[in-house]
Amino acid sequence: MQVEKYAIDNHNSDLLAKHIKKFEFIASDISQVKDIVQKLKDFQVAIPSWALGTGGTRFGRFSGGGEPRTLEEKIEDVGLLHKLNQSGGAISLHIPWDIPQNPTAIKSLAVQHGLRFDAVNSNTFQDQKDQELSYKFGSLQHVDKAVRKQAIDHNIEVIRHGVELGSDSITVWLSDGSCFPGQLNFRKAFQRTLDSLKEIYAALPANWKMFVEYKAFEPNFYSMTVGDWGQSLLYANKLGPQAYTLVDLGHHLPNANIEQIVALLLGEGKLGGFHFNDSKYGDDDLTVGSINPYQLFLIFNELVEGMDARSMNHATDLGWMIDASHNVKDPLEDLLQSVEAIKIAYAQALLVDTKALQQAQDQSDVARAQEILQQAYRTDVRPLVAEARLQAGGALDPLGLFRTHKVREQLIKERGQKTVATGL
C-alpha cells in the first residue's frame, strides 16, 4: 500500500496557506531559521522492525489488523511512514525476528523506499524453537561455557546479517541477571559477560560500533548484569574504542536524571545512541513525549550543547532509534507521533540561547537560566518541523493524511484482520 506523491501534494495545498502564516510568524523571531530547518531535514530517526505490529503484555494483546507478515511488508510500512514525514529514513532489524532471507533483494527494496539499515539487534533473551541450550539463566553471563559460546556465535551471526545489509552497528541488550539474592556471583557474572563481549567485539568490522544497552530491571527483578549507565560504560571502556553505551529512556529507575547521564556519557565520548520512548513507571515503551516531553527537551538540550562542544554531526554521529510497543494505539500512528515528538524536542533545543545560558550559569543566576531554557521549550516549533517536512517532500500533517487516506483500512483489506507481526 502506497501513498502517492499527488496525494501528499493535494493534502499540502489544502494546508499551505495556514502553514505559511504560522511559519513566517515564528521565522520572523529566529535569526538562524534556515540552519534550523536544514538540521531538522537532516535528522532521521530509525524505526524498529519489531514495533510495526500490536504489542501486548502478559495480560493480553489486542491486535488492530493489517499487520505486516513479512520483512518485506515491514519495509513497506516503514517506507510509508518515511513518505509521509521524510524523517524515518532508516529501519533497525531484530534477529531472529527479521532474518533477511535474500539480503540483496531486501536491500534494494529498502533503497526503493529511501531506507537504510541502522543498528541490528541480537536476541539472547528468548529460546528459539530449534535452539540447543536455554538462556533461562542468562546468555553471555551464563555459568556454562557452551551457553555463552552459543550466545557469542548468535551475535557474530547478527553482525554478518548486518554487513550484508550495509548496517554499521550492533545493539547488544542482555536480559541477563538474577531474580533472587544468592542466585548470582556479581563479579564472576560481570567477568564472564565482559569476556563474551570481547569475543563479539573481536568480530566487529573496523568501521562498526557496538552499542551496550543497559536496563535497571525486567525480565530479571533482583539484578541485571548490565543494569545502569555506569556498568554499561565500564564494559564499553574495557572493550575498546568501537564500544559505546546505548540509552533506552525506559530503562532507568524512577526519577533518574537521564539528561545528566546523557551529558556525562557524551563528555566521555562513549554515548553511542538512543532507544527513544516514554514511560511513567517501568519500561512502558510508550509514545515518545507522551508522558514527559520536558525531560525529552532537557535531554536534547544536553545533546545539542554536548555535541557542539565536540563538533559532532547531529544527524550522523549518534544512533537515533525508537524502541516502543503499542498496546492500544495503531502502531503506525504511534510511530508518526513519536518521530514528531523527537523532532519537536530537537527543534526546541536548537532554539536555546546557549550564550545567554552560559552567562547565567557563570553568574549562578538560577532564575535567569530557567527562563532561557523555558523560553525555548515554550516556543511552538511545530511550524519549523512542518516546514522541514514540506521542503523534504513530506506531508504537512502526516497523521492527518494517514487517516484521511484510510491507510489502516487499506492494509487490513490487503493483509486481513488477523495478521500478526513478529516482534514484541
Q: Which residue(s) pair with 248 in the sheet?
A: 275
Which residue, 6 or 281, is less far from Mn ion as judged by CB?
281
State the DSSP string of 92-110. E-BTTTT--SSHHHHHHHH
- Stretch touching Mn ion by CB under 5 A, among 41-49, 61-69, 269-277, 391-399: 269-277
118 lines the binding site for ligand LRH (CB under 6 A): no
Q: Report whether 62 contacts 327 (CB < 8 A).
A: yes
Residue 77 interacting with Mn ion (CB under 5 A): no
Nearer to Mn ion, 11 or 275 (CB): 275
CB of 327 to Mn ion, least distance (A): 16
d(CA 327, CA 420): 13
Give yes or no for a contact between 84 and 402, defined as CB atoms under 8 angstroms apart: yes
| 321 to 350: interface string for ligand LRH, x by CB under 6 A | --x---------------------------
Question: How many residues contact Mn ion, by CB under 5 A?
Answer: 3
Residue whose CB is less far from Mn ion, 86 or 121: 121
Q: What is the DSSP letter of 50?
A: G
Q: Is 121 in the site for ligand LRH (CB under 6 A)?
A: yes
Q: Residue 278 binds which one of ligand LRH, Mn ion, none, with CB within 5 to 8 A depending on kind? A: none
Which of residues 159 and 324 has its CB atom nearest to Mn ion in the complex?
A: 324
* DSSP symbols for 293-317: HHHHHHHHHHHHHHHHHTT--TTTS
Query: For residues 279 and 301, which CB has a smaller minimum distance to Mn ion in the complex?
Result: 279
283 binds, among Mn ion, ligand LRH, none (CB under 5 to 8 A by kind): ligand LRH
Q: Does 228 bind ligand LRH (CB under 6 A)?
A: no
**Contact status, residue 91 vs residue 78, Cβ threshold 8 Å:** yes
Q: Residue 152: enclosing H or E segment and its boundaries?
A: helix 145-165
Structure-block grid coordinates of residue 252:
532507568
Q: What is the DSSP letter of 249?
A: T
Residue pair 292/267 in contact (Cβ under 8 Å)? The answer is no
Decide: is 213 part of the binding site for ligand LRH (CB under 6 A). Answer: yes
Q: Does 248 bind Mn ion (CB under 5 A)?
A: yes
| Residues ≥6 apart with Cβ < 8 Å to 291 | 278, 279, 280, 284
Query: Are 301 and 254 a contacting pair, CB within 8 Å?
Result: no
**Would you say 218 or 380 has its CB closer to Mn ion?**
218
Angle between helices 382-391 and 5-27 in degrees, nearest 10? 140
Q: Which is nearer to ligand LRH, 213 or 228 (CB)?
A: 213
Query: At its nearest, how many Å lie between Mn ion and the CB of residue 293?
Result: 20
Sign of CA dihedral 411, 416, 421, 424: positive
Binders of Mn ion in range 285-344 (CB under 5 A): 323
248 touches ligand LRH by CB under 6 A: yes
The H or E element containing residue 171 is strand 169-173
424 binds, among ligand LRH, Mn ion, none (CB under 5 to 8 A by kind): ligand LRH
How many angstroms separate the CA atoms of 38 and 236, rounded? 33
Nearer to Mn ion, 248 or 330 (CB): 248
To ligand LRH, the closest distance from the beta carbon of 176 in angstroms equals 12
Does 424 sit near ligand LRH (CB under 6 A)?
yes
Smallest distance, Mn ion to C-beta of residue 330, A: 21
- CB nearer ligand LRH, residue 219 or residue 241: 219
Is residue 173 a contact residue for ligand LRH (CB under 6 A)?
A: yes
The least distance separating ligand LRH from the CB of residue 219, rounded to whole angstroms, comes to 9
Output the CA–CA distances (angstroms, integers) from residue 78 to 43, 46, 84, 190, 372, in the order listed. Answer: 16, 9, 10, 37, 37
- Binding-residue pattern over the window 17 to 56 for ligand LRH, x denoting contact by CB under 6 A: ---------------------------------x------
Residue-level length of the chain: 424
Contact 11, 397 (CB under 8 A): yes
Rule CB under 5 A: choose which of 11, 113, 270, 275 binds Mn ion.
Answer: 275
Give the residue with the Cβ less far from ligand LRH, 331 or 398: 331
Q: Which parts of this chain interact with Mn ion (CB under 5 A)?
A: 248, 275, 323
